Amino acid sequence: MSFQAYLDNIQKKTGKSPEQFTKLAIQKGFLDKGGKLKADVKAGEIVLWLKEEFELGHGHAMAIFAYFKGMRK
């Protein structure tokens, strides 16, 4: 599955785009106000949040984490 397919499936499941997840992650304190991942934030913290609040699987949660790290393709 391509990275974009992961993002598309996440949006279908949750109704939220990667940009909306970015805004939520800023509010949660995982990203700075510019949308950059804070140095002290670990992948596991974000994965746990996405699994608990949005019922994403591990691979889909990691795709959002990769998006936060700057991956776009």
Averaged pLDDT, 1-26? 96
**pLDDT at residue 73 greater than cutoff 90:** no
CB 56 within 8 A of CB 13: yes
**pLDDT at residue 1 greater than cutoff 90:** no
**What would the two tokens of residue 41 be?**
């934030």
The predicted-structure confidence for 18-70, as pLDDT tens digits, reads as follows 999 999 999 999 999 999 999 999 999 999 999 999 999 999 999 999 999 99
Check residue 15 and report its DSSP letter: S
Q: What's the angle, vertex CA 62, arms to CA 6 and CA 47, rounded to 5?
A: 130
Cα distances from 6 to residues 34, 58, 66, in angstroms, run 24, 11, 11
34 Cβ contact partners less than 8 Å away, ≥ 6 residues apart: none
